[in-house]
Amino acid sequence: MDWTEKYRPSTLSEVRGNDKARDALKEWAETWDNHREAVIIHGSPGVGKTSAAHALANDMDWPPIEFNASDTRTKDVIEQVAGEAAKSGTLAAGGSGRRVVIMDEADNIHGNADRGGSRAVTSLVKEAGQPMILIANEFYDMSNGLRNACRDIEFRDVSKRSILPVLRDLCRKEGIEFEDAALESIAQMNSGDLRGAVKDLQAQAEGKDRLTTEDVVSGERDTTEGVFDYLDTVIKTAGPQEALEASYDVDETPDDLINWIEDNMPKDYEGRELARAYGYLANADRWLGRVRATQNYSFWRYAGDNMTAGVAAARDGKKSGWTRYGPPSYWSKLGRTRGTRDKRDYIAQQIAEANGVSMSTARREIMPHLSVMTHHCKNRELTVAMAARYELDAEHVSFVTGSGKDTNKVQSIVEDAQQLREEAATENTGGAFEGSSSGASISETENEADTEDGDEQTDQQVTLGSDTAETGEEDESGDSKSAASDDSQSGLSDFM
């Protein structure tokens, strides 16, 4: 039996490492009746997030209902399965009358690709009548709306000092003698990953009465070549075949490796050899483009041939000396623009889900028009309609329109949009709560609601079309053209 399951903590007090996160999770559960918020537990794989969630459920006497977001990724199933579990509070409830919904891999729900799954979960956590725990490896891969609707607790990598006592305890329970140095080696190899350390211990110790340092060293995982060592190899000394074979031991995907080579190659190459090397990198980039377009990853081999063997072949001779290599500048640019890209992608996701288009179409074809039509919120009615339809907060309205998010103008637009959504929600009930007095059947009521919903959507589209026409008239007078070319606009076009 897998030791990670056999010895999974049954209470929070048994969860090793992350004491602050553990205490925060306990406080969230004990005060849930006061705040009624969902919580996102996030951190690297193997740090004990799922174990902590189940241990908490056991401590609180909350029967858990586990739901893996990456298994069934559609809006309907999330609403039916997780929704019913979160909203009803009697069936199989614990002693406190509660049960907890645990949604693992919650960062694997991505807007349009999941047919509204992300939006459904966001709505669910706002309305849930039961505690909900969302577990994610990458917190910022989740939508802004979902992150803002939940508390978040970060589980950090587990230190070697916290892993060692766990390994000793497991050896004692299994009746295995051990050398301290052997356990220290396992803890060191897996520093940060408690689950990985337990799995390595089981692999090395199972079937033995005693675990020695030699056992661990002989079974140690193969290590990959560092990317800086590889850059020295491919750029300075290796021939084409050697450069290609050495790339197999580098723990980088072709998409990342090409950025490493491209940024550091000019530090050693010059003139014609640099031009030849760039030619090979251009070919590699074309193959990577085909991979992205077709999802056919067999093309990676052609990209790899060009960026490794090709770059080595472009060199006139071996080079010597020490060169200060660094990470791709592209990465630092991504880091600086992360917040802006998160806003852009959230808005594109909302537009894609509402209009049934792709994220790319939303970014490149719809958002630029919305930016021009709502520039500085001059067309207030259209801006309110946009914020209501796509459920945009002040920061998102500010991003599209170029107005400051803290201004009274934007705040009032967001408030009016919220009121508009509430009014639309009331109208879309279709008289469902009056069915008993009128004698209408359930199916008739549902049909009426569907019809009204369709009419509502048509009305919104007509309104947008009308406002677009009005904007066009403003263009003729010169006002909108001036607004569109204003350098103080939000910078939306830089991130399309």
> Does residue 39 sit in the same domain as residue 185?
no
Asked if the structure places residue 283 within a domain, the reply is: yes
> Does 425 lie in the same domain as 357?
yes
pLDDT of the residue at 485: 38
User: Domain for residue 81, yes or no?
Assistant: yes
How far separated are the first and last CA of the chain, in Å rounded? 50
- Same domain for 364 and 404, yes or no, is yes
Residue 389, domain member (yes or no): yes
> Do 110 and 44 fall into the same domain?
yes
132 in the same domain as 91: yes
Residue of 240 and 321 predicted with greater confidence: 240
What is the token pair recorded at 4? 């990670």
Say what the pLDDT of residue 429 is: 55
Q: Which domain holds residue 294?
A: 227-334
pTM of the model: 0.46
Of 297-306, 347-356, 402-411, 471-480, the one with minimum mean pLDDT is 471-480
Q: Which pLDDT value is given to residue 83?
A: 57
Examine the domain organization and report whether 90 and 204 are in the same domain: no
- Assigned domain for 437 exists: no
Based on the structure, what is the number of domains in the chain? 4
Q: Are residues 174 and 149 in the same domain?
A: no
Same domain, 86 and 44: yes
Would you state the pLDDT for residue 98?
83
pLDDT in tens, 311-329: 999 999 888 888 888 777 7
Same domain, 329 and 348: no
In a shared domain, residues 77 and 191: no
Q: How far is the CA of 162 from the CAs of 20, 192, 212, 253, 360, in angstroms?
A: 14, 9, 21, 32, 45
pLDDT per residue as tens digits for the range 137-150: 888 878 888 889 99
What's the confidence (pLDDT) of residue 292?
84
User: What is the pLDDT at residue 336?
Assistant: 59
Give strand pairing partners of 154. 42
Strand partners, 151: 39
**In a shared domain, residues 402 and 282:** no
The answer to whether residue 436 sits within a structural domain is no
pLDDT in tens, 74-93: 456 565 665 565 555 544 55
Q: Among 101-105, 328-332, 403-407, 436-440, where is mean pLDDT lowest?
A: 436-440
Residue 488 in tokens: 């103080």
Asked which of 160-169, 427-436, 472-481 is least confident by mean pLDDT, the reply is 472-481
